Structure 1
């Protein structure tokens, strides 16, 4: 398969993932949505089903949808990222680019779908939460540890799926993401995917999201929380890399 096809596949798959994932968060958090206050498990299942759909869409490229997965495959010593796609510098960059751009576009589409509800929501923190993750207790060291652990579980188990076919395909990855969110998602919101967090955070910074009062004046200040943004990038990369190394030793 050509790298152009890999790029398009990852853009489309990651875009679907983020459209549905950011969409479920918007449904739960934004004012006047029919799913308002639907709870953490609704968010967990929404993200899991987003993975389910995204994996099917990106089947041609192996459906990484996540730079941490790409890194995990790389450090596992695999010869190919997908059938006909050799592991190499160029292919790695193409996967990263497709994942990041797809995540950005998916977040923009989620914003378009919920535009009136963004306009009705005065809390800038809730709007940022639709796009990117944030810690429940801000402690960069422990937030990083949580992201490393959560991503290790994600990538290690995905690599195990490849060695132990279960015949349930993308559903396995979807249920894994639901499980990680339900059990390990509380401290940081379980980014477990650098593109999933960074691409939408860039979208948040660029989109017109300021809440306006009845007089038309902006209320509140939009803050994309760039001070925290390195945690959901570095943590998943480290966790994915460790998972690949360990998988190469035990599988």
Structure 2
């Protein structure tokens, strides 16, 4: 049996994988949202596909180092289901947050001229962080809970099956696309606290042309909703025979 890397080495994998995830995921949002981008106005299907591919590439680029959770809600859910040691949870979350921040930073650099050309502050924020289609905190929270419940329960269910070697990241990417297309239209489906909170912080700190506020009053929804959804997904997995 292959020997597992140490927790710090696995955390490095979380940093790298989450960096790639957010660079490509926020990158597709930037391409769709920002003025004069060749992908401008290409729509929700492109965003959903882009995030699914981003997750797949994030996993492929980091799985040789560790489990490639790339998401605090997944890490917490895996720990609850005894698939990951609690001793590594905090370090994983820190690595995921740092990787997500760096990914958002490079999206800003990559699209540097387009911020000046884009006047819509909501579209600029939407490149970095999620926001509700209709602001209703209870409904928005439940959307994030449900989406992340599907994510974490499905990931745990996958551990009971068998896929062709190397195929799991593709299956996970398809899962992300399915959640995005079916459940993502209400809140933009963060389903990942690191994916939303760290880029939102980058939006607040970076000297982005034409940006507005970072909507901190909403920021708890894409953090707590995924955590609760991940816990519920893990609990269901645990109680099933």
Give your verdict on TM over 0.5. Answer: yes
- Asked if the contact 1:124/1:210 (under 8 Å) is kept, the reply is no
2:213 equivalent in structure 1:
223
The residue number in structure 1 matching 2:86 is 88
Give 5+ residue unaligned stretches, structure 1.
Answer: 82-86, 212-220
Please say if 1:241 is aligned against 2:241. Answer: no
Answer yes or no: is 1:77 the counterpart of 2:74: no
The equivalent residue for 1:201 is 200
For residue 8 of structure 1, report the CA deviation from its aligned partner. 1.2
Task: Return the offset for 1:4.
Answer: 2.2
From 94, 108, 111, the counterpart of 1:114: 111
Select which of 124, 136, 139 maps to 2:121.
124
Matched, 1:232 2:222: yes
Q: More displaced, 164-173 or 122-131?
A: 164-173
Q: Does 1:8 align with 2:6?
A: no
Structure 2 CA distance for aligned equivalents of residues 2 and 205 of structure 1: 34
CA contact (8 A) 1:210 1:222 kept: no
The alpha carbon displacement at 1:38 in A equals 0.6
Give the alignment partner of residue 44 of structure 2, picking from 40, 44, 47. Answer: 40
Aligned positions of 1:156-171 closer than 5 A: 156-167=153-164, 168-171=167-170
1:73-105: CA deviation from partner (whole Å, max 9, x where unpaired): 112133xx2xxxxx023x111110011111111
CA distance in 1, matches of 2:104, 2:208: 13
Give the C-alpha shift of residue 182 in structure 1.
0.1
d(CA) in 2 for partners of 1:20 and 1:238?
26
- Deviation by residue 1:192-224 (Cα, 9 ceiling, x = unmatched): 00000000000000011132xxxxxxxxx6200
Q: Which runs of 4+ in 1 moved over 3 A?
A: none
1:31-79: CA deviations, max 9, x gaps? 000001111000000000000100011202100000010111112133x
Q: Secondary structure at the match of 1:42?
A: helix
Q: CA deviation at 1:2?
A: 2.2
RMSD in angstroms over aligned alpha carbons?
A: 1.0
The answer for the alignment partner of 1:214 in structure 2 is none
Q: TM-score, normalised by structure 1?
A: 0.91
How many residue pairs end up in the alignment? 234
Query: Which deviates the most, 157-166 or 142-151?
Result: 157-166
Corresponding residue for residue 187 of structure 2 = 188
Matched, 1:150 2:140: no
Residue of structure 1 in register with 2:58 after alignment: 54
Residue 17 of structure 1: how far off its partner (Å): 0.3
- TM-score, with structure 2 as normaliser: 0.95
Query: What secondary structure does 2:203 align onto?
Result: helix
Match of 2:27 among 16, 23, 26: 23
